[in-house]
Structure 1
């Protein structure tokens, strides 16, 4: 059964090109280690909520945009092996040392696919 890692983060607007470059570098490594796809979405129509919202969840600042991302895998087993290999990769370790956003406000988790129509 397909498995997905999901992410939400706040990225400084001025870092959009840098963030895109960062993701293009790391996406190829994820795919080398079994990921089916790496999807990155830049905020377009994201409202502040009364009680909850993406901006609130990541404590978005005025100069930031929300990114919504996911990596799909064929299964959790492939993901577990692939994710370990990704984080052991020297290029990923270099990229992680200079992230173009505040990783303390990154929200992430792994999900089993319930419906895929």
Structure 2
């Protein structure tokens, strides 16, 4: 069953291009280890809530933009094995400088329960 790794983070708005560059550079490794698709989205209509919202969840600052992204895998087993391999890959031993505060990034693994298309 298809499996998704989802990510939610706040990126300094001025670092948008640096984030895009980092994501594009990461794709070949994800693909090499079995990912089918990677989607990075830049928040353009993210409302502030009264009780909770993406900004509160990521502790976003006024000069940051919310990013929501996901990686599609053929299944959970491929995703789990890929992350293990990536962590030992020599490319990951010297990761690039991150254009955001990784301590405020959230991630998790998800199985689809509804998948409809027009």
The whole-number CA distance in structure 1 between the counterparts of 2:40 and 2:85 is 21
The whole-number CA distance in structure 1 between the counterparts of 2:48 and 2:40 is 20
CA displacement, residues 21-50 of structure 1 (integer Å, 9 cap, x when unaligned): 000011110011000111000011001110
The match for 2:73 is 73
Three-state SS of the structure 1 residue aligned to 2:49 is coil
Alignment of 1:1-117 (within 5 A): 1-95=1-95, 98-117=97-116
CA displacement, residues 50-77 of structure 1 (integer Å, 9 cap, x when unaligned): 0111111001101100000000100001
The whole-number CA distance in structure 1 between the counterparts of 2:88 and 2:60 is 30
Superposed displacement of residue 93, structure 1: 3.4
Gap regions ≥5 residues in structure 2: none
Gap regions ≥5 residues in structure 1: none
Three-state SS of the structure 2 residue aligned to 1:84 is helix
- The number of residues matched between the two structures is 116
Structure-2-length-normalised TM-score: 0.93
